[in-house]
Every structure is written in C-alpha cells, then in structure tokens.
A = this chain, B = another copy of it.
Amino acid sequence: MAKTQKQIPLHIDISEQIYRRIIDGYYLPGDKLPSERELIEEWKVSRITIRRAIANLVQQGLVSTYQGKGAFVTQKRKVAYTLSNSLTFLQNDLADKGIELSLQNITFELAIAPTEVQKILQLPSNNPTAYLQKKLLLTDKVPGGVDITYILPEIGQKLATELKQNMTFPILKRNHWNIERVAAIIECTNANLELSEYLDVPLGHPLLVYRHTAYTTNDRPIVHGETISRGDRFCYSVNQLS
C-alpha cells in the first residue's frame, strides 16, 4: 500500500496551481496576477495563506511584487558572460550583444586585506595592504552587479584614475601587465541586505559569484576579487576543447 500521502499545506497547493498557470502560459510574462483580494475570493482562504503562496512563487523567481501595484510574472532573459579560452573582456563582449555596460565607482582605497586575500596575493606580513575597489556594474543604466577587487598597491597607485572608470583587465592589458592565467570559481549565493540595496533586489535574491585571481608572469598574483551579479540576469558561458 502507498503510505498515506503527507498532508501538503494549502499555500503550497495554491502556489503550485498558479505555478502551472504560469508554466502553461495562462499568465504570461509581464502579466499582473489577480490581486490578493481576488485570490482570497477564488480559493476561499485567508490573506496570510495567499501571501505565503505568492511568496513561494517569488522565491522560485517566477513572480515579482511591487507595493501598491501588484504581483507580476517575471520575464527572464539572461545575458551571458563569455569565459572563452582567452580572457574575459566583458565590455566588448556585451557591446557585441548591443548592451551598454557602464561603471560606477563606489570605493577605491588602500586597505588592510582580509587574511585570505593576504595569502592569495602573497602580501608582505609587515604591510598587508592592497587597493580595495568596489564598482557597480550597470547594464543599460540598470545595476546588474558589484565588483569587489583587491589590487597590488604598486599597480593600484599608478592606475587609480583609470581603474575608477573602467574594467580592470583591459586596463591592465593596456598598461602592459601581462595576465598569464586566471583561476576562478563560479558559485551562487543569496543577497544580504547590503547587496540587495546595491542591486535593487529583494533580500535573498540569487546571485552569481565569479571569484577570480589573476596571475602575471612567473605565476605572480596581482589581482583578486569577485564579481557578484544578479542571477536572474546573467550567466556564464564556457567552451571546453578536448
């Protein structure tokens, strides 16, 4: 005998039914869902249950809510960062796709690096400082990511002006800092309050993290940082050859 089906909560039942309507195209991307009041009518449940059901859909990234306006089916088109065999030159990459990338400097300062960064960049223990830069990445004027980078002091000092206005890797190349290899990890996290404010997303929104270390000649690390981008708008494309 099948064991008695575990009682599924009302809010899951309701969110699954709305889920199907979205998947089946009954509610299309951009459409407004019925208001809470209407959904309460339809299912004859309390507001708290309907709100929970909608929250389930928001958590699945299918719906976004706006105070005073309503709940809307999200439309997701993602932009790919290309991690080709050569290096990432995001700006050109996006320009090819007709997307305008701009930068907004948040901070640029000499700071004591966290211990992990000290190790990775092989900073001298008597003076473990590096330039810390935080940049906001805007695609078509809309914030899409944050870049947090530690740069060796000698490089950061010379290239300060440029670094505040452009992407890091192309600047290094222009200034004859050869980048021999980049070791990177791609992972996902969820937005904390600080990031949710920078990126204008709700708390807990999925984010893609590209944590990288760039090495110049003789395997000398020169830059370490992470690019944190909205998971609903970006992805990474990888091409592997045998």
Contact = CB atoms under 8 A, between A and B. Distances in A.
Interface of A: 12, 16, 19, 56, 59-61, 78, 80, 83, 85-88, 178-193, 203-204, 206-208, 231, 234-242
Given A190-B59, A192-B60, A238 B184 contact: yes
Interface centre among A183, A186, A235 (most CB of B within 10 A): A186
Contacts of A208: 186-188
Nearest to A8: B193
Nearest to A81: B186
15 contacts: A56-B203, A60-B190, A83-B240, A86-B242, A178-B242, A180-B242, A181-B242, A183-B237, A184-B239, A185-B235, A187-B231, A187-B236, A188-B235, A189-B231, A238-B238
B203 A60 contact: yes
- Quick one: copies of this chain in the complex? 2
Contacts of A189: 61, 206, 231
B60 A180 contact: no
A56 B182 contact: no
B237 A193 contact: no
A236 B206 contact: no
Contacts of A180: 241-242
Given A193-B12, A206-B190, A184 B85 contact: no
Given A188-B208, A190-B206, A208-B188, A183 B87 contact: no
Contacts of A56: 203-204
